[in-house]
Amino acid sequence: MNLPNKLTILRVFMAPIAMIFIMFPIGGETAARCIAAVVFILTSLTDMLDGKIARKYNLITNFGKFMDPLADKFMVIGMLVTMCASEQYAVFRPVMVWVTILVILRELAVTSLRLLVASSAEKIVVAASWLGKVKTVSQIVCILVMILEPILLPFDSMFIFSWITIAFMGIMTVWSGIDYLKSYLAFINPNE
C-alpha cells in the first residue's frame, strides 16, 4: 500500500463527505456548501497527486490502475447524482438528470472499451487522452461552480456560470466519449 494508493483510498472515503453536506446542509446552506467545496477540492487534488507521484517514483500498481479510475468515477458521478437529488439544485434538475445520464453512459462505454482493448491480443492499456483530461477537469469545475456560485455571486439569480459549465461538461463528455470510440473502434468486432 504505497502513497499513491493511500491517496486513492482517501479519495474514496472523502467523496461521500462532500455528498452528505450537499444532500443535508448541516450547519446551514452556506456553511454546508463551503465544507462540501473544500472537501471536494481536496478530493480532486488527491486525484492529481496520486498519478503524479505514482509516475514520478515508479509506484504504479495493478491496484492503482484499477482503483484510481474507479475512485474518480465515484467522486464525480456521486456528486452529480447527489446534486440531482438535492432540493438545493432543483432549478438545474431537468438538465442535470440528462447530463448525469450522459456522464454515466460515457463512463460505462469507455470503461468497457478499455477492458476490451486490454484483453485483446495486443493487450494495450488505454491511457487518458487530452480530451479525457479536459472532460474530467470540466466535471470538477462544473461541480465546484454549482456549489459555490450562490455564495460567491448571490446577486446572480440566474446561475449563469453554473449553466455554462453544465453545458461545457456535457459537450466534453460526449466529445471525449466519441473520441475514445473512434480511436479504438477496430477492437469492436462483432465476429470475434
pLDDT in tens, 37-84: 999 999 999 988 988 898 899 988 888 888 888 899 999 999 999 999
pTM equals: 0.91
pLDDT in tens, 123-139: 777 777 899 999 999 99
Show the domains of the chain with their CATH numbers.
3-187 (1.20.120.1760)
Residues 112, 108: Cα–Cα separation, whole Å: 6
Surface-to-core class of residue 141, CB atoms within 10 Å of its CB (0-12 exposed, 13-18 middle, 19+ buried): middle
